[in-house]
Amino acid sequence: MIGLEASRVRDWKRPAEITKDELQGDRYDIQGINWEELDTTREKARAARLRLSTRKATPPPPLPSSENYFRFRKMNTTHRISVAHFQLRNLIAAISRSDIFYASKSKVMHTDASGQMNKCAMELTKPMGDSMHPSSFSITTLTASDEVLIAGGFYGEYALTNLRSEVGEPHVQGYVTHEFNGITNHAHTFDSRSSGLPQGVFCSNDHCLRILDCTTNTFTHEFRYKQAINCSATSPNGRMRVIVGDFDKALITDAETGRPFEHLPSHTDHVFACAWADDGIHVATGSQDHKIVVWDARRWDTPLATFASVMSCPRSLRFSPVGGGRRVLFAAEAEDIVSVFDAYDFDKRQVLDFYGATAGISVTPDGQSLFVANGDGKFGGLMEFERCQFAEPWGLGEPRRSWKGHRIREERFPRGAWEWMATEDLDDDPRVVGSRKARERRGLGLEKLYV
């Protein structure tokens, strides 16, 4: 039960910013909600939400939240992230803490972690002149790399801008497809194996996956499948691609020909999320059957791990980047929950919980910040969670004390591959952000040290 104050919640004034230092338990949580004023607690409200959640299937019980990989850092409530389609939740892209892009109706906004900057990166409100679709661009998916920013639309549109161009250079717009049911469900980028130039991959409701050469703005490939394609991810070496859609299997395809060579019996309902880890080995899929399944590319005959969602079905998956510390898998549910799974043993998780529709998640390339786009009309905004571990994330292993004569010597031994690759190889990998020294200083709070 909640008090009468709940009827006046919409009139509550919202703070522009909420930081971890301001938190006061049930008096002031990570979204600035005063649960005491509502005559209840955050814990009781969460239990009620779980009881009201509906499930189409009965997956195995979810892992308990036992870990502490990330902690709340900040929320900016002035950013309004909009969800155009209830099943499509990839509407934020962070290429650094200084460059965060998110969808707000027909605009792509550009902000940073401080929240002080908020400008329009792509203005898409004007109709494109197509008589069949006279309305403005309704953004259904968003992706970005260091070089390009891409948005997909409800009527098969796309918009593209070069992030390395001169300020003021206009974006380009076009159509992925003119099919009546041609919603752009998902987009991601990868670098061409032959030219090294950025390519855009578009998954559409018209059963097709298409490749766009972002440099020439030319579609170079079109692969047709039997059902709608909801999401895809290309392997780090560019040779393979995982494809999921309005079917219960995951397709592993040749990235150049589009031909499936593995049909993974992952789920019992349509699949809307997938991800490929930076080690090139681990692949994850998430379905409306409330399951997240992880596969090992070295043997496709059986899943490596299967997890259950906490409340609603998983809509977006991300692996932590190489060089980002102990490897984890992020699973964003449609509402209220982002799970952070241990991606080494696959037997532990941390649950980050809040209130509101998850419009998308994005991890910075250094792996130190997770941004959650909360689409709630009242308590939504841009949420940042930061890495809170140190020592083990850069591969030092676990401490072990041993006797040597009459002295205790502390050694370190490798418990396993904390990272996606051996520690000695990180310095030579171009995907790794930051030096070895910077990685070793993580978690020490040196960003607050002034000299």
The residue type at 325? G
Q: CA-to-CA distance for 279 and 426, rounded, in angstroms?
A: 12
pLDDT digits (tens, 9 = 90+) for 407-420: 444 344 344 458 88
Q: Which helix (H) or strand (E) holds 438?
A: helix 436-440
135: CB partners within 8 A, 6+ apart: 127, 155
Residues 158, 175: contact at Cβ < 8 Å?
yes
**Cβ(416)–Cβ(344) below 8 Å:** yes
Contact 191, 197 (CB under 8 A): yes
402: confidence class by pLDDT, cuts 50, 70, 90:
very low
Please report, as a single letter, which amino acid is at residue 39. Answer: D
Tell whether 399 is covered by a domain.
no
Which comes out higher in pLDDT, residue 94 or 443? 94
Rounded Cα distance between 268 and 303, Å, is 14
Residue 218 domain-assigned (yes or no): yes
CB atoms within 10 A of CB 300: 15
Q: How far apart are CA 194 and CA 189, in angstroms?
A: 15
- Chain centre to alpha carbon of residue 172: 25
Tell me: pLDDT of 90 over 50.
Answer: yes
The two tokens of residue 374 are 């909360």
Say if residue 165's pLDDT is above 90. no
Q: Name the DSSP letter for residue 6.
A: G
Low-confidence winner among 88-92, 144-148, 430-434, 438-442 (lowest mean pLDDT): 438-442
Residue with tokens 């329009």: 120
Total of domains in the chain: 1
Q: Containing H/E element for 50?
A: helix 42-52
Instruction: Say if residues 138 and 154 touch (Cβ distance below 8 Å).
Output: yes
Query: What is the rounded CA–CA span in Å between residue 156 and residue 207?
Result: 12
Contact 241/231 with Cβ under 8 angstroms?
Answer: no
- Cα 98 to Cα 209: distance, rounded to the nearest angstrom: 31
Q: Work out the percent of the chain whose per-residue pLDDT is above 70.
A: 84
Residue 259 forms part of a structural domain: yes
How many angstroms separate the CA atoms of 367 and 115, rounded?
A: 20
Judge whether 60 and 290 are in contact, CB under 8 Å: no
**Is 40 a domain residue?**
no
Write out the two tokens for 347.
Answer: 């037997």
- pLDDT band, residue 3 (cuts 50/70/90): low
Give a yes or no: residue 437 inside a domain: no
CA distance 65 to 300: 29
Domain that holds residue 375: 64-392
Q: Whole-number mean pLDDT of the chain?
A: 87
Closest C-alpha to 354, from 18, 60, 92 = 18
Identify the CATH number of the domain in which residue 110 sits. Answer: 2.130.10.10
Domain assignment of residue 19, yes or no: no
Residue of 345, 328, 233, 230 lying closest to 280 (CA atoms): 233
| Separation between Cα atoms, residue 32 and residue 442, nearest integer Å | 28
Which secondary-structure segment (H or E) carries 170?
Answer: none
Give tens-digit pLDDT for 177-210. 999 889 999 999 999 999 999 999 999 999 999 9
Domain membership of residue 308 (yes or no) is yes
- In this structure, are residues 332 and 358 in contact, taking their beta carbons and an 8 Å threshold? yes
The number of beta carbons lying within 10 Å of the beta carbon of residue 28 is: 16
* 7 in a structural domain: no
Asked if 2 and 39 touch (Cβ cutoff 8 Å), the reply is yes
pTM attached to this predicted model: 0.89
